[in-house]
Amino acid sequence: MALLEFKTIAAGVLASDFMVKRAPIALLRCGTIHPGRFLILVGGSVASTEEAFAAGVELGRRESALAGSVFLGDVHPSLHDAVLGIKKGLLGDALAVIETRSSPALLAAVDAAVKSTPVVLAEVRLADDLGGHAVAMMSGDLTDAETALGICADRAGDQLLARTLLPRLDPDLRALLDQGTKFEQCPAFEPRGAEYPEEIACSWDA
């Protein structure tokens, strides 16, 4: 799997065409992201993906439009699934959240973390509705989550925007996060004991 981020939409569209013509790859996803950039996600055999990736990087540099890129010759299965939108429930007591300035930086960091620790990669979001940032959530026991977070921070380097570790995740928050991190998709929920006016109270089952 490979991911390339372009500073301009025009260069990104051109690179997409260039890459699929260069090697027999799957164009998994491509399109505009915030703030006015273009993201290309491709996959296939190691050789074909590497060839297409090199072609995209070459074009991006020639056009002075490459914002970031990552080639994962042996991408972890959980990262592959998460990038394609498959969510997993949070397991264990601890939650690690990593946020980077770019999507390629996040993939490189998370791939290294999930290959080194037995954390569960619950969700990955790339750029859309995030102002160009990227975020991932990993869960597990405290030691594993903390280790994964440290690996991500080291791998991301100056592309690291923020990281946080929740040692004992609240069960109500866990139930909400299991459904995703988008605000507009979060269901209204009234925790037990919440001081909320009865006439406008919402319940989990509502």
Show the beta-strand stretches assigned E in 22-112. Answer: 26-33, 37-43, 66-71, 94-100
- In terms of pLDDT, which residue wins out, 185 or 9? 9
10 contact partners, CB below 8 Å, separation of at least 6: none
Least confident of 12-26, 61-75, 136-150, 163-177: 163-177
150 contact partners, CB below 8 Å, separation of at least 6: none
The pLDDT mean for the chain works out to 91
Looking at residue 190, its pLDDT comes to 62
Going along the chain from its start, the domains and CATH numbers come out as 2-71 (3.30.70.1710), 77-178 (3.30.70.1710)
Question: Is residue 20 within 8 Å of residue 12, measured between CB atoms?
Answer: no
Q: pLDDT tens across 68-115, in order?
A: 999 999 999 999 999 998 889 899 999 999 999 999 999 999 999 999
Looking at residue 206, its pLDDT comes to 45
> Model-level pTM?
0.88
128 — pLDDT class (breaks 50, 70, 90): confident
Report the Cα–Cα distance between both ends of the chain, in Å, rounded.
41
Least confident of 25-29, 49-53, 117-121, 170-174: 170-174
Looking at residue 192, its pLDDT comes to 65
List for the chain the helix, strand, coil content (%; round to 5). Answer: 40, 25, 35
Query: In whole angstroms, what is the distance from residue 81 CA to residue 77 CA?
Result: 6
Show the beta-strand stretches assigned E in 79-157. Answer: 94-100, 120-126, 134-140
Query: In whole angstroms, what is the distance from residue 173 CA to residue 166 CA?
Result: 11
181 — pLDDT class (breaks 50, 70, 90): confident
Please report where in the chains the tokens 């609240």 appear, as a residue: 170
